[in-house]
Chains A and B, each alone.
Chain A
Amino acid sequence: MEKILITLHINDKPCEVMVYPNDTLLEVLRDELDLTGSKESCGEGVCGSCTIQMDGKPVRSCLTLAMEAQGTRIKTVEGLANEEELSDLQQSFIDHGAVQCGFCTPGMLISADALLNENPRPDKKTIRKALAGNICRCTGYAKIIEAVAHTNNPQESCPDCITGSKTGSKPNKIQGE
């Protein structure tokens, strides 16, 4: 079996990489391109931890051959932020406590991001359906759903909907200095 040179378009950047035919996109992302944000949790396309976006649609990268990812625009969790500035969705996850162990988080964010790009203010039922293919063992999903719902639609009644951040991208003002 020989390695083949392919070009993948990942997070708005072209990447040349040598791959075997039986390399999955997930393996290439993690092992060759050091994009370890996407995870393997089940290896068989069930859990969604490996979810990336292909031309804006969420896809299981563990069941995608790297070779077949050519010619598509791939977005991984590493591509959600703009350098150090988090996307509104990422910030919403942090603010709403939607991240516990964090293993399912990249896949969740990708699926949610894809949804919000098509439907910026989805109701909770729609969000549940869109995230049905992403398994989380820690959160019970409640805060994830809320974080997605409130990203573009902050609610007065929600104590966790704040603009800016308490920790994270923007440091607090230093007082008394």
Chain B
Amino acid sequence: MSDYTIIGKRMPRVDSRAKVMGKAKFTADLKLPGMLVGKIKRSPHAHARIVNIDISKAMALDGVKSVVTGKDTEGVKWGVFAYTRDQEFIQTQKVRYIGDEVAGVAAVDEETALKALDLIDVEYEELPPVFDPMEAMASETELIHEDFPNNVNIHVNIDTGNVDENFEKAHYIREDTYVAPEESYFQAEPYAIVARFDHEDCLEVWCPNGGPHMKSKPLSNAFKIPLHKVKIRKITIGGAFGGRSEICPVDYICALLAKKTKKPVKIEFTREENTIATRQGHAMITTHKTGVDKEGHVLARETTCYMDGGAYSSTGPIATSVPFLSMEQAYRMGSVRYNGYRVYTNKPIRGMIRTHGRGFACGLDTQLDIIADHLGIDPVEMRLRNSRQPGEYTSTKSFVDSCAMDETIHKAVEKSGFKEKWGKLPPFHGIGIGTNSVQTGFPMGIRGGSQSFIKFNEDGEATVMSGVVDNGQGNDNMLVQIAAEELGLLPEDIHLVSADTETTSSDPGSYSQVSTFVGGQAVQIAAKNCKEKLFAVAAKVLKVEPKTLVAKNRLIFVKDDPEKSISIKKVVRISLLNFTSVNAEGGYWPKVDMKREWVKNPYGQMCEAFSFGTTIVEVKVDPDTGQVEVLEVTAAQDVGYGLNPLILEGQFEGSIAMGGQGGMLTEYHEWKDGRCINPTMLDYKLPLACDMPPKINSIIVESIDPKGPYGAKEAGMSIAMSAAQGYSAAVSNAIGVFMDSFPLTPDKILTAIKNKEKQDQKV
């Protein structure tokens, strides 16, 4: 490990300079000659039939260049999965949520485009809407999608067998229900898209995305042009957090407007549109039934979860599964039965989100604390008795190779002083622990692997091509760091061409948590292949065996005799003069069970590695107002290997803010008749600088995964989830009440405190 020159170091990111200078271009910053402004007409009704659309007045408005409706499409329904094709890009028959797309306009400026929207006459016949998933499942409700009876979009059933027998054997059983409403990503950058058809009839698109290849294929299908003519371009992206990973109507509409007007078209979402017309997190009602033996080992578990999916499927199968999968990875469960139902409602669409199922996870962990309390075990011990160990299989039969879950628990406990504090703090002062696990990817069929290509320029510097996208988490830097390390160059010698579907190969996308494991590894392999070629040439020049050589600091030299060296630049030039290439490619495909499928066959090897993490939180609750003051957060994650501790710490801290501070204390959506009444940054409460805890400890634990690049696994999501669990546990501990409704806003905390006071007085 200490042999590394660049890997493992706190290296500032390669993309930071452009960002601090204000030079980095985000989609909305782009200006192309002749560019038009696009706007979308959206349904103001939650559920209605489209009777007629009249665009004549809009078309006649001076400055309007094109108006498109469902009539301009073929009415084909799209879906992330073949069995979830339920959404037209522009609705022709029905609208299913307030915000659903019914038309698009391209005009010379924003004012004209907005006026044109007002001039589009849409006649609706309102239908009875349904906003509650339980109501939606009842048979009398008008179906939102004709092909989905009882409005059940997805049903994931996992049953490892013997569940009921094992419940019989249990010493103690608890059944509890936990609820959490939806939350939103609130990426700093509101969604925007620029599209144009160029002189070769190629479609060029810039937009924030969680994987450009996820956007290019559907556009290729929709416009019936081959993939090599669809160019999703690299652009600086202002956050994704699990969103922006699939094609959505505005992408199609923008490209269609560009096609019709023969001009570039830019559509910028308002903050409100970003909240209601992209994706949100699912609201969930989760019932966990857990049976344990006398020592607190979980023998059996039955979990049923109803998820409010909103109006369309999106990545439904994934979102319905991951909350469960994270927990089965983190904990042994003996035998388990899981039924996850994703239900349609007439609300904005829900998708995958970084904190995958805050109520689900917090509920499971809270229940472990309740059981621990009953059995007289402390929460840490309870975790250790059930924690995932290396060499085990998860309930759905994924082999877990590297796993340092216990180490994360022990280190977090030690740093936070948990043992000294738990049970010994003054009233309304609490400490809590949460643990979780995240998979590095899932079987993605044809897009499960990543390929990289590296070319050398004659000045000895390199261009690295990779399909990996950077949403702000630091993936660009990760790729450059890996390439530099392997090639023996310095980071500034490397130019990265990434996330551009014209030049870079397919990649699973950042939302699948494999950017490092699969994408980074592909770059590592490509670089190693380059190095082999460089060494072959250098060996001849230095008259040594290639296996004696190493590359560092722009030099290739004999490891045990550094004086015998040659610069990489010279080697490249010699190769070119001798008609040899030192360019190389590399690819990585994780060995997963290709037959595993979210719904049809949710068993088998899910991915090659899992990350594990623990977050311990210490809080003080004001018993008069229910407000929470977070004193200290300690996050420890088994990331496999810390490629760049500076970036990892940033990921931990950001995860704590999103999953814990916001996700557990202030973030939720409120509704009135299907209308989101807090879509803005004022009314949806993201944590501010002055709200964050003063002390955050980040502990990087390394299990050195045998398959991961340098042993690295994943680091962007696990802490968001365990932070939510830790916050919840801490507040519950502080007030002496196990909470079951999230987020833990002051009113809920206060009510819990008052109810406990009344109960204590009765005793």
Contact = CB atoms under 8 A, between A and B. Distances in A.
B688 A132 contact: yes
> Chain A, interface size: which category?
35 or more
A139 interface: yes
Contact of A167 (B491, B689, B692): B491
Contacts of B555: 175-176
A58 interface: no
Contacts of A140: 650, 653-658, 661, 687, 692, 696
Given A135-B686, A142-B692, A78 B681 contact: no
A64 interface: no
Contact of B28 (A35, A37, A40, A133): A40
A165 B16 CA distance: 12
Interface centre among B12, B236, B474 (most CB of A within 10 A): B12
B184 to A, nearest CB: 10
Contacts of A38: 22
Interface in A125-150: 127-129, 131-145
Contacts, number: 209
Contacts of B19: 99, 102, 105
A45 to B, nearest CB: 9
Interface in A81-140: 81, 86, 90, 93-97, 99-106, 109, 124, 127-129, 131-140
B20 A41 contact: no
Contacts of B189: 39, 41, 101, 103
A41 B681 contact: yes
Contacts of B262: none
Nearest to B477: A167
A176 B653 CA distance: 39
Nearest to A132: B690
B763 interface: no
B400 to A, nearest CB: 29
A142 B186 CA distance: 19
A135 B649 contact: no
A104 B20 CA distance: 10
Contact of A143 (B29, B239, B565, B653): B653
A81 B696 contact: no
B474 A160 contact: no
Interface centre among B20, B21, B236, B238 (most CB of A within 10 A): B20
A97 B270 contact: no
Interface in A31-61: 34-44, 46-47, 49
Interface centre among A42, A80, A100, A144 (most CB of B within 10 A): A100
A166 interface: yes
B650 A176 contact: no
A94 B22 contact: no
Contacts of B392: none
Interface string A159-177: 1100001111101101111
Contacts of B553: 175-176
Given A100-B474, A128-B689, A160-B646, A36 B12 contact: no
A137 B188 contact: yes
Given A99-B20, A102-B472, A167-B491, A139 B188 contact: no
A86 B17 contact: yes
A104 to B, nearest CB: 5
B619 to A, nearest CB: 16
Nearest to B26: A103
Contact of A36 (B29, B472, B647, B649): B29
A103 B238 contact: yes
Contacts of A134: 689
B572 to A, nearest CB: 14
B10 A137 contact: no
B12 A143 contact: no
Query: Chain B interface mostly helix, strand, loop or mixed?
Result: loop
Contacts of B649: 97, 142-143
A78 B20 CA distance: 9
Contact of A166 (B11, B682, B689): B11
Given A44-B681, A172-B490, A172-B492, A102 B690 contact: no
A74 interface: no
Nearest to B471: A101
B694 interface: yes
Contact of A141 (B24, B25, B692): B692
A132 B24 contact: no
Contacts of B688: 132-133, 135
Given A41-B188, A102-B15, A138-B654, A47 B21 contact: no
B13 interface: yes
Contact of A176 (B12, B554, B681): B554
A108 to B, nearest CB: 9
B473 interface: yes
B680 A42 contact: yes
Contact of A124 (B238, B654, B694): B694
B20 A137 contact: no
A66 interface: no
B22 A40 contact: no
B271 interface: yes
Contacts of A128: 689-690, 692
Given A42-B681, A137-B187, A176-B567, A81 B656 contact: no
B16 A139 contact: no
B682 A44 contact: yes
B23 interface: yes
Contacts of A104: 188
B14 interface: yes
A13 interface: no
Contact of B650 (A30, A129, A143, A174): A143
Contacts of A80: 20-21
Q: Which 10 A-B pairs have the closest CB atoms?
A: A37-B22, A101-B472, A102-B19, A103-B238, A140-B657, A140-B653, A77-B22, A103-B188, A36-B29, A42-B681
25 contacts: A34-B31, A37-B21, A37-B22, A42-B271, A46-B680, A77-B22, A81-B21, A94-B13, A97-B649, A101-B188, A102-B19, A103-B472, A105-B20, A132-B690, A135-B688, A136-B188, A140-B653, A140-B696, A143-B650, A143-B653, A144-B689, A145-B689, A171-B492, A172-B490, A177-B554
Given A35-B22, A169-B17, 5 more contacts: A102-B236, A104-B188, A105-B22, A124-B694, A137-B186
Interface of B: 10-26, 28-29, 31, 185-190, 236-239, 241, 268, 270-271, 471-474, 490-492, 553-555, 565, 567, 569, 646-647, 649-650, 653-658, 661, 680-682, 686-690, 692, 694, 696
